[in-house]
Structure formats: C-alpha cells, structure tokens
Amino acid sequence: MGIFDYLKKTEAEEESKNNACVGVLDFLPMKETNQLLIVGSLEGRLKVGDQLQFCNPDQGMESLGTVEVQKLSSQNKDAASLTDEVLAHLVVDRIPSLDKLKKGSVLFSSGIEEEQKLSSYSDALYRVFVAIQEGQLTNEDYLAASLDDSVEILRLFLWKCRQNHETESEENYQANTRKLERLAEVVKDKLLEADVVYAVYSEKTGEPYLFSTTYDRGEEGYLCTDPMIMLLTPSWYRQFKETIDSRPNSVVKLIENTEDKKGIENFLGTAFYLNGALGAIFNSKEVSISAPALVQKPDFSDLPEIQVPVMNPDLVRWMLLMGQMDQPTTEEQELVYGLYYKFFSMAMPKAKFLLPLDATSGFPEDNSEGNSFVLEKDANFNIPVREGKDGRNSIPVFTDWKRLRMVFDEKWNGMIEEAGGMIEGFDYAINPTEYYEAGAYVSLTAFKEMQELSDKQRGRAQD
C-alpha cells in the first residue's frame, strides 16, 4: 500500500467514525427554552453543532427533518463530543417536524446507510421496551406505536424470554406470558387498523401460502407445526422485497383495508376459518400469533343447523398444503406429502359439502346466496355430472360458498352433501376451480380407505 492509499484509508475511517446514528429512547420538552432533550443510544461520533436528520424506520427511511445539536451530555456531564455512548443526551431546538418523533425514531448523519438505521431502530426498541420497560407499553406508547413497532417489540421481548427460559422462576414465567399476550393484542389492534399489509400467496392454489414444518420425533412419530399464513408489514417488505419475491411458487399480494376497517379482518377470517390456517407469522418465523387471538371464530350457536354456513377448514387446510407442494421427488418430500394426505383422509369422512343445483321447479324464487331452505317434495333439479376416472362419473362438490361461486354463478343453488352420501354413485371432484392444485379427486375406493383410517384413529382416541 502506498502512502497516498494509506492517507485515503485513514480519511475514510475518520469520516466513517464521524458519522453518527442515534436510536431515540425517550425525549422531553424543555418549555423554558423551547428546546427538546433527546435521550438516545449513540453509535459513531457526534459533536455539538452537528446537523442530524431523523426518520421513523417503521414508516420509511426518508428524512422527516433536520436538527442541530445544541448541547451534549452523558452521565450528568456536558461534553463537546461523544463517541459510541449507550446513553447520550442531546438538546436540539424544537421544530414542527419533531412532532413526529417517537421512541424508536433514528437521528443520523448524511452518510449513514439504511442497514445502520434499521439496527439503531431495533436496538432502541429493545432498550426501551424490553430492557427498561420490561415488555410493557404505556398508553402513550400504544397510541404512538405502528404495526411494525408492535411486531418488532413482540419479537424482541419474546427473544429475551426464550433466552432466560431455563433460569427464570415460575412466577416470572407467568408474568412474562401475560405480557406476551398483551403485546400480541397490540399487534392485533395495529394490524386490524392498518391501511395495508402484505400476504404471501401460493401461485398454485391461489390462496395464502401455508407455512408448516415437519419434525421427526423418533418413536413418537412425526409432528407438523401449526400451518400458518405469513404477513409482511410494508416497511419489512420494502426492505427485503428482492429476497421475498424470489421464493419459488409464491407471490406477495397487497391486502388493503376498507373504509370501515373490515378488509384485513375479513381476509384473516377467510384464511383461518375457510382455509384452515391456524394463525399468522409476522415478517419472519420468530413471531406468530394464533388465529383466535387475531380474529374470533364465527359463532353460529344461535342459528338453526340448516342455516349454519358450510365451512370445512380442517379439510381445506391439508388440500392447500398438498396443492402448494411440487411433485415429491425425495424421500423427505414424500414423507411430508404422505402426512398431509393422512390428515386429509382423517378429515374427509366428517366433511359437509355444497353440491351445485340447477333449479327447474320447486325452489324459492327469491333465494340469496348462501341461504338454506327445504326443498318441496316435487322439486326438480339438475346436478352437474361429469366423466370421472376409471369409468366412473364424478360430481363437483365444494367446501364453502366462496369456492362454489368461483365456478357457478348465482343462478345455481347449493345442496348440502354429507361426505359419502352419493359416493356409491359418483366420485367427488372437490373444489374444481381454476386452481386445480387447490382441490382433490376422491374415488369410491379412496373414500372407503379414508373411512377405515378415520375409524381406526377414532378407536385409538377412545382407548
């Protein structure tokens, strides 16, 4: 290395050292001077008189304003400059844009990269809400927090709980469990109020992708983790878009909330209680929340049985998991597919389907979609019979009204078909929509095998 190269390197290192990034831990208005005292965690070197921009990484990396450092202190001592200070105090003049400042905001020099801003953001949330406030949010914190903030706080507190799990007392464990439940409630509130969220979809099934991992437990057999959908907050998706979009057989879709704030809730209700997802993963597999904690299961207890909407989440769940897979080519893939098929087979005999009916006479004239009614004795109707496999005919049956309406318009009604009711005469083509992989074909032979498996499993449960 020549002398000029060495000097350039030294200048670059010094310039990098002078770049400051501050994660905001708290702030306090100083009314008598119209200034703001900011408490933050400093990385890099900061001097009195330096100009700092600030942003809220949960909303984007764009600068929301610029402030000048009027005063610096640490450990109750004023300083002309500070370097890598865990607890630094900055005094700046109050400007209107500082109204957007909150815990987790980041102040930064012009040369700071986005990766460093994200690091300071996450570090600030950990120091405030985990290390200092021990997993609790004040009412002011709750109001200021975004969906991104709440997900990251839950992730960080959950990480700490897992780190200390083996050494903590039962009392602390129970207290932390309650805190985690409360943080999950905050995530739910922020999610249902959000303008938009992103969801990972399967290109093969046309439905939200279900994430599940299969573990070999030796003599105890195999365990499938609860199948869950994956939700991405806007800032997370923007940051990792290239990596996320490169996942095979999947695509990310924007889920927009409606004016009445029911859009995201309805999306989740469909994913959970029609598709059978058991919860949602947020941004990464580190944070997950169960379905009932996000959207309550519909209560039809007050309705007569004939008016209860047809839903088969326990069946659809396994069809979607099988459908989103590529054709198994390895022993491990065949094992996973076989487990999914086993669970599908056990759920099949308990299913209730909708069989499309083309009414000719004896039907109510004013029948809205999804309503149930009793046919008149002399009612005439047609059902769509198609050529099946192995010389048998098949009928299309649907797990819910959503899938039926994907194929048949409002001129068609639906009749409840208890699984096995017509299987002697017709095979079942389940959910034969444009997404072929999201459905299944069940022959008479296959259905009888499923009945045997279900009966054996029921017998084992009773022993």
Which residue, 259, 238, 262, 241, is CA-closest to 251? 241
pLDDT for 3 equals 45
Per-residue pLDDT of the chain (463 residues; tens, 9 = 90+): 454 454 444 444 444 456 899 999 999 999 888 899 999 999 999 999 999 999 999 998 999 999 999 999 999 999 999 999 999 999 999 999 999 999 999 999 998 999 999 999 999 999 999 999 999 999 999 999 999 999 999 999 999 999 988 888 999 999 999 999 999 999 999 999 999 999 999 999 999 999 999 888 877 778 899 999 999 999 999 988 999 999 899 999 999 999 999 999 999 999 999 999 999 999 988 999 999 999 999 888 888 877 889 999 999 999 999 999 988 889 999 999 999 999 999 999 999 999 999 865 455 555 544 444 555 555 566 889 999 999 999 999 999 999 999 999 988 888 899 999 999 999 999 999 999 999 999 999 999 999 999 888 877 666 5
The CATH superfamily label for domain 18-113 reads Translation factors (2.40.30.10)
Question: Crossing angle, helix 147-163 and helix 170-193, to 10 degrees?
Answer: 160
Output the pTM of the full model: 0.88
Q: Please count the residues of the chain.
A: 463
- 257-294 per-residue burial string, b: 16 or more CB within 10 A, e: under 16: beeeeebbbebbbbbbbbbbbbbbbbbeeebbbebeeb
What whole-number distance in Å separates Cα of residue 11 and Cα of residue 5?
10
pLDDT for 17 equals 54
- Cα-Cα end-to-end distance for the chain: 79
Residue 42 phi, psi dihedral angles, 5° rounding: -100, 130
| Cβ neighbour number for residue 441 with a 10 Å cutoff | 14
* Residues sharing a CB contact under 8 Å with residue 43, sequence separation 6 or more, in sequence order: 20, 21, 22, 84, 116, 119, 120
Residue 309 phi, psi dihedral angles, 5° rounding: -55, 145
**If you search the block for the tokens 């308990």, which residue do you land on?**
350
Which residue, 1, 6, 87, 79, is CA-closest to 42? 87
The full set of domain ranges for the chain reads 18-113, 126-193, 196-323, 331-462
* Residues sharing a CB contact under 8 Å with residue 133, sequence separation 6 or more, in sequence order: 141
Cα–Cα separations (whole angstroms), residue 337 to 280, 320, 321: 22, 11, 8
DSSP 96: G
**If you search the block for the tokens 């002697």, which residue do you land on?**
424
